[in-house]
Each structure stands twice: as C-alpha cells, then as structure tokens.
Chains A and B, each alone.
Chain A
Amino acid sequence: MKIRVHVSLKNGVLDPQGRAIHHALEGLGFEGVNDVRAGRLIEMDVADSTTDAALEDMCRKLLANQVIENFRIEKVA
C-alpha cells in the first residue's frame, strides 16, 4: 500500500523557509503570490495490513512534530 504523509506547519507558526521562497518567486518576476508555506512530503510503501491507527502512530511518534506541525495521511491507490 502506497502512503503519502503531508506534513505542514501549523497556522500561526512563522515559516522562514516559505518566506524566502516567496521572496525568490517575487525576485523572478512572478506577481500575485500572496503567501508561501513550505512543508514536507513523505512517501511510504507499507504492508496492506497496516492499520490507520498504526499510520497515525508513526506520524505522532516521528514523522511530524505536533508542537509545530500538522500531518495528513493520504492513501494512494
């Protein structure tokens, strides 16, 4: 089973990396970019028997730091 875990910064957490990307886009002449936030995509191949609870546990224990990050688990067909 292919899994994608999307890790993103929580609202209200300053994202210096996103801000730098935003400035770089503006520097390249792209207009109308209102905001940029950078996250992380983790792709996993797991046994089909892996439970949702186990996937969430992986996110909570390692893949995301819940002090600053949210996560979303996506099952890819």
Chain B
Amino acid sequence: MAFTAAVITFPDSNCDRDMAVAIEKITGGTVHRVWHGDAELPTGLDFIALPGGFSYGDYLRSGAMAARSPVMQAVVAAANRGVTVLGVCNGFQVLTEAGLLPGALMRNAGIRFVCRDVPLVVENNQSLFTARYTAGQRIMIPVAHHDGNYFADAETLDRLEGEGRIAFRYAEPVNGSQRDIAGVLNDAGNVLGMMPHPERMIEPAHGGSDGRALFESVLAGLGVAA
C-alpha cells in the first residue's frame, strides 16, 4: 500500500503547501490536505504533518487556538493510536499546546524574529524520524520563528535527555532554548516537534538537502512502499 499522509491546514498556516510537496516528492505517496474544521481524518494514514505558520494569528499563545480546533482532537487520538506525527515550527507549538509533547515555546530570548539557516546536531539517530542521519551529524536547516524558545522545567529536561528524546539540538545559540533544544520526541517515539523546517531543505535549489533524510527515515521506518 502506498504511503499515505495528511497535512493539516489551519487559518494562517503558510508552510502547508511546502510540507505537502516535500512529502510527495520524497515518499512518492499520497498527501491529503485537511482543513482545521474537519472533525475526522482520512482513513489509513501513515503520517500526519502539522505545518509552520501563524495559526489563528498566534492569538492568546502561539498554537493555543489551533490545539483546540476540531481536527486536533482527531490528531491527538491518531497519535495515541501510534500514527506518526511531525510538527514543524507552528506545528511544534501546536503539539506542545495540545499536550502531545512536553514543554512550551516562548518568545525568542533576543526578542527578534529569527530567519536564517542554522546548524543542528542530530542528537538521537535511533528514532523513527532520524534513523537516516548519523549520531552527532551536523546538518543545516532553516528556521523562521518568533516563538521558538523551548522551555520545560529542569526535571522534565533531565528526563528528556535521559530517555533520548532530544532529537535535534542547535549547534549555536539561536533563540534561548533550554539546553539548545531544537526538536523533541514524545515518550512512544511516534511524535516529533521541531522548530527548524526540514521541508525547506530537500533539494539543491533550496541551498541544501539536509532535510530529506528526515522524511526518508519515516518512510523506511514505517516500512510502507513508496
């Protein structure tokens, strides 16, 4: 069966098309575009992506309103059933607000919006999302965010470190994130949230293709025919 994915579009999502194109190009699969007001997801999904953007104008807190939208109840249920879920940038904020990932994403410590390519270190290459990278590999992936400053209490951070749930770290200061965390996994390993945008680094015309291996990892890890 072909790889089947869904990309959720919230009002003010703006990376949903890029995400859909990246998934289609790399996996050769089918990508359903799902609107935030839909209460149900397409059946037979292997992969759900929450894209970047400024859902609901970042009202209240980044990701807060989107996390309470009808489709997110279906996404939470799917994640709890073991469906693979990736949240990028605003998608990461939505995943923390929905309680699928620990911590919160606060205003960048330097106040400024940060938009540039940043070096990341692959901290854990044993996960479903990172198996095609090598441990400690340094990759370049762009960020574009105002609220990417990852915060969790020290006990939670220690637990994340101990359990190998920090997928990526910034290799240089970017936004004030605790312990330079750029991407975290859930307990079961089927949910990843990250501020950098792998879907914007998948072919030479993008200036690099370091994001490809993330999607290739998922495709290989799920064992679904491309």
Contacts and interface: CB of A to CB of B under 8 A. Distances in A.
Interface of A: 13-14, 16-17, 19-20, 61-63, 65, 67-68
Contact of A67 (B104, B107, B109, B176): B104
9 A-B pairs with least C-beta separation: A67-B104, A68-B104, A16-B107, A16-B111, A20-B111, A16-B109, A65-B104, A65-B61, A68-B151
Interface centre among A20, A62, A65 (most CB of B within 10 A): A65
Contacts of B64: 62, 65
A12 B60 CA distance: 21
A13 B97 CA distance: 17
Q: How large is the interface on B (under 10, 10 to 19, 20 to 34, 35 or more residues)?
A: 20 to 34
B152 interface: yes
B42 interface: no
Q: Chain A interface mostly helix, strand, loop or mixed?
A: helix
B110 interface: yes
Interface centre among A16, A19, A62 (most CB of B within 10 A): A16
A17 B151 contact: no
B108 interface: yes
A13 B151 contact: yes
Interface of B: 60-61, 64, 68, 96-97, 102-104, 106-111, 149, 151-153, 176
Given A16-B176, A62-B64, A62-B68, A67 B111 contact: no
A61 B73 CA distance: 14
19 contacts: A14-B106, A14-B109, A14-B149, A16-B106, A16-B107, A16-B108, A16-B110, A16-B111, A16-B176, A17-B107, A17-B111, A61-B68, A62-B68, A63-B60, A65-B64, A65-B97, A65-B104, A67-B96, A67-B153
A16 B97 CA distance: 20
Nearest to B97: A65
Given A14-B109, A16-B149, A67-B151, 13 more contacts: A13-B106, A13-B151, A14-B151, A14-B176, A16-B110, A16-B111, A17-B107, A19-B111, A61-B68, A62-B68, A63-B60, A65-B97, A68-B151
A68 B111 contact: no
Contacts of A14: 106, 109, 149, 151, 176
B31 to A, nearest CB: 31
Contacts of A13: 106, 151
A20 B61 CA distance: 19
Interface centre among B102, B106, B153 (most CB of A within 10 A): B106
Nearest to A64: B61
A65 B98 CA distance: 10
